[in-house]
Structure 1
Amino acid sequence: MPELRAAGQVFDVAPAANLLDTLLNNGLKVPYSCRAGSCHACIVRCVAGELHDNQPQALDAQSRAQGWRLACQCQIVTDLSIELYDPNKQARRATISACDWLSTDVLRLRLIPEQPVAYRAGQHVLLWTADGIARPYSFASLPGVDPFLEFHIDCRRSGAFSNAARMFKVGEDLHVGVVSGGALHYEQDWQERPLLLLAAGTGLAPLYGVLRDALAHNHQGRIRLIHSAHDTQGLYLREPLNALLAKASQLEIQQVSTAELPAALAQLRLVSRQTLALICGQPDNVELFARSLYMAGVPRNQTFSDIFLPHA
Structure 2
Amino acid sequence: MPELCVGERCWTVPTGSNLLDALNEVGLNVPYSCRAGSCHACLVHCLDGQPLDALPEALALEKHARGWRLACQCRVVEDLHVALFDPLRDGVPAQVCALDWAGEVLRLRLRPERAVRYQAGQHMVLWHGAVARPYSLASLPGEDDFLEFHIDCQRPGAFCDKARGLQLGDVLRLGELRGGALHYDPDWQVRPLWLLATGTGLAPLWGILREALREGHQGEVRVVHVAQNSAGHYLAEPLLEMAGVKVELVLAQQLEEVLAGLRPSSRQTVALVCGAPGSVEQFARRLFIAGVPRGQVFADVFVEHA
Q: TM-score, normalised by structure 1?
A: 0.95
Offset at 1:45? 0.5
Q: Give the C-alpha shift of residue 295 in structure 1.
A: 1.6
Matched, 1:267 2:265: no
- 1:160-192 alpha-carbon deviations (Å, 9 max, x no partner): 110111110001111111101320011111111
The one-letter code matched in structure 2 to 1:150 is E
RMSD of aligned Cα (Å):
1.2
In the other structure, the counterpart of 1:293 is 287
Counterpart residue identity of residue 219, structure 2: G
* 8 Å Cα contact 1:122/1:206 also seen in 2: yes
- In structure 2, the residue matched to 1:224 is 222
Aligned to 1:62: 62
Separation in 2, partners of 1:299, 1:95: 43
CA contact (8 A) 1:39 1:181 kept: no
Q: For 1:11 and 1:190, locate their aligned partners in 2 and report how far apart those are by CA, in whole Å.
A: 54
Q: Which amino acid aligns with 1:213?
A: E
Helix, strand or coil at the partner of 1:72: helix
1:195-252 per-residue CA deviation (whole Å, 9 max, x = no partner) reads 12110000000011111111111111111110011111211111211222x2xx2x21
Match of 1:258 among 247, 252, 258: 252
Q: C-alpha displacement at 1:98, in angstroms?
A: 0.6
Please tell me whether the aligned partners of residues 4 and 80 of structure 1 are also in contact (alpha carbons under 8 angstroms). yes
In the alignment, which residue of structure 2 is the partner of 1:122? 121
Q: Segments of 4+ in structure 1 off by > 3 A?
A: none
Matched residue SS, 2:130: coil
Q: Distance in 1 between matches of 2:293 and 2:26?
A: 46
**Is the 8 Å Cα contact of residues 198 and 279 (structure 1) preserved in structure 2?**
yes
In the TM superposition, what is the alpha-carbon distance from 1:100 to its structure 2 partner?
Answer: 1.6
Structure 1 unaligned residues grouped into runs of 5+: none
Deviation at 1:270, TM superposition (A): 2.5
In 2, Cα distance between the equivalents of 1:96 and 1:228? Answer: 28
| Residue equivalent to 2:111 | 112
Stretch deviating more after TM superposition (15-24 or 222-231): 15-24
Aligned length: 306
After superposition, residues 153-192 of structure 1 pair within 5 angstroms as 153-192=151-190
- Structure 2 unaligned blocks of 5 or more: none
Equivalences for 1:25-104 in 2 at 5 Å?
Answer: 25-102=25-102, 104=103
Task: Tell me the TM-score normalized by structure 2.
Answer: 0.97
For residues 235 and 274 of structure 1, the distance between their equivalents in structure 2, rounded to whole angstroms, comes to 28
**Percent of pairs identical after alignment?**
55
**What secondary structure does 1:62 align onto?**
helix
Name the CA distance, whole Å, in 1 between partners of 2:161 and 2:22: 27
Residue 311 of structure 1 and its aligned partner are, at CA, apart by: 2.2
- CA apart distance, 1:7: 4.3
Is 1:283 the counterpart of 2:281 in the alignment? Answer: no
Shift of 1:26: 2.1
Per-residue CA deviations over 1:260-288 (Å, capped at 9, x if unaligned) read 12111111112222211111111111111
Shift of 1:49: 0.3
Work out the CA distance in 1 between the residues paired with 2:286 and 2:293.
11
Counterparts in 2 of 1:7 and 1:284: CA distance versus 1, 3 Å: farther
